[in-house]
């Protein structure tokens, strides 16, 4: 059985940054993730997608951010269990926890930090007949490598940030892009909406609103998508790829059975230290909820920082916690 101070469920950006904050307080961490490698959604869904709201980085690719976080925590020597799902937990007599994975791995921890992002997630798929027949044959629910779409005819569907951002990023790469949305207004950031509108005005993309995809077809590989427009009726769109970006359907999985207070697939926490209703179990990042919650990586970093301070006091109740600025003390392992 492995032993650790903090067991972090989820090796996404927030889980990784937790290792850094814990390391500054001499706390060791073990991370478990159902995915085969670190990075969470950043690695699995959009590694080449630029992120614009990380302090100090005007723009950083999602995959690059993960690489930087791994480099940042390397001096603290975290350990990992990948491709295994956190299945059950038991509280021990000394107040610690024993977690068992779906593959039988057991980990003992003094504190548990749930940083599972959206939990177990899967893409929301539009209700189009035979859509599954073209998955990986022209139908993609996420963009992992933009080069896949170079010089291709691409149809993107959606009205949120992902649809807008990928339209902007792929416009110089794809042979042609059509963006469709079932409404006239978009849910994404205003700046992204303005950029998409400018691309459409310059005839660099086709923008079709009040429309939705209703049929896909092709001989072995996707060749066309039929679109239903509110005024023009049915339109045929010849494409090489169809990318419906309607977000993810989050599922907590076994975590939902751990006796935690749940609200709409998110875990309720106290904003004092992001502890759940179960003492010693914290939830940070997109998986938690509280009044005023914003699902931003930046906010997850803040939550992780405060959580670790509380975890230290729980693990070492008789020790005085002395907070020091890294600009003064440096980080052990770098100097």
Q: Which residue intervals of the chain bear CATH 3.50.50.60?
A: 2-121+248-329, 125-244
Sign of CA dihedral 273, 259, 13, 169: negative
Q: What is the mean pLDDT of residues 141-162?
A: 90
As a whole number of angstroms, the distance between CA 172 and CA 177 comes to 10
* CATH class belonging to 2-121+248-329: alpha beta
Helices (H), the chain: 13-24, 41-44, 62-73, 161-170, 190-201, 297-315, 326-329
Instruction: Name, in order, each residue with C-beta under 8 angstroms of 74's C-beta and a sequence gap of 6 or more.
Output: 333
**What is the structure's pLDDT at 334?**
42
Q: Name the residue with tokens 């899967």.
A: 122
More confident residue, 162 or 193: 193
Looking at residue 333, its pLDDT comes to 44
With pLDDT > 70 as the criterion, what percentage of the chain qualifies?
92
Q: Tell me, what's the pLDDT at 197?
A: 96
pLDDT more than 90, % of the chain: 73
* Residue among 5, 130, 135, 165 nearest 77 (CA): 5
Closest CA to 70 of 127, 19, 124: 19
* Helix, strand, coil share (%) of the chain residues, nearest 5: 25, 30, 40
pLDDT for 270: 97
Half-sphere exposure of 140 (CA within 13 A, CB side): 19
pLDDT at 254 over 70: yes
> How far is it, in rounded angstroms, from Cα 218 to Cα 88?
45
Computed over every residue of the chain, the mean pLDDT equals 90
State the Cα torsion 322-327-330-334 to the nearest 10°. Answer: 150
Residue scoring higher pLDDT (50 or 202)? 202
Q: What is the pLDDT of residues 255-288, one digit of tens each?
A: 888 999 999 889 999 999 999 999 999 999 999 9
Residue 191 has pLDDT above 80, yes or no: yes
Q: Is 255 helix (H, G, I), strand (E, B) or coil?
A: helix
pTM higher than 0.75 for the full model?
no
CATH architecture group of domain 125-244: 3-Layer(bba) Sandwich (3.50)
Q: Residue 335 has what pLDDT?
A: 39
pLDDT at 247 over 50: yes
DSSP code of 291?
Answer: T
| pLDDT higher than 70, residue 136 | yes
């Amino acid at each position: 059985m492995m032993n650790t101070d903090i067991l972090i469920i989820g090796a996404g950006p927030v889980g990784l940054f937790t290792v850094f904050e814990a390391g500054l307080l001499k706390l060791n961490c073990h991370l478990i993730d159902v995915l085969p490698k670190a990075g969470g959604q950043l690695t699995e869904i959009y590694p080449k997608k630029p992120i614009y709201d990380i302090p100090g980085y005007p723009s950083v690719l999602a995959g690059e951010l993960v690489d930087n976080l791994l480099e940042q925590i390397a001096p603290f020597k975290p350990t990992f269990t990948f491709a295994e799902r956190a299945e059950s937990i038991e509280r021990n007599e000394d107040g610690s926890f024993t977690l068992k994975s779906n593959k039988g791995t057991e980990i003992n921890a003094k504190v548990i930090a749930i940083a599972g992002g959206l939990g177990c997630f899967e893409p929301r798929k539009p209700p189009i007949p035979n859509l599954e027949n073209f998955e990986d044959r022209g139908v993609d629910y996420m963009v992992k490598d933009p080069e896949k779409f170079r010089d291709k005819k691409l149809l993107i569907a959606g009205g949120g940030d992902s649809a807008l951002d990928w339209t902007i990023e792929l416009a110089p790469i794809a042979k042609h892009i059509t963006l469709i949305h079932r409404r006239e207004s978009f849910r994404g950031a205003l700046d992204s909406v303005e950029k998409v509108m400018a691309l459409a005005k310059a005839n660099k993309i086709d923008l079709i609103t009040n429309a939705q995809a209703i049929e896909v077809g092709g001989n072995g590989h996707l060749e066309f998508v039929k679109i239903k427009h509110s005024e023009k009726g049915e339109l045929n769109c010849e494409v090489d790829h169809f990318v419906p970006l309607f977000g993810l359907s989050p599922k907590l999985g076994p975590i939902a059975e751990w006796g935690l207070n749940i609200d709409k697939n998110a875990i309720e926490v106290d904003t004092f230290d992001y502890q759940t209703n179960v003492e010693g179990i914290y939830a940070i990042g997109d998986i938690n909820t509280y009044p005023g919650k914003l699902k931003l990586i930046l906010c997850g970093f803040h939550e992780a920082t405060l959580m670790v301070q509380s975890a230290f006091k729980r693990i070492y109740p008789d020790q005085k916690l002395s907070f020091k600025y890294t600009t003064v003390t440096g980080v052990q392992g770098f100097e």
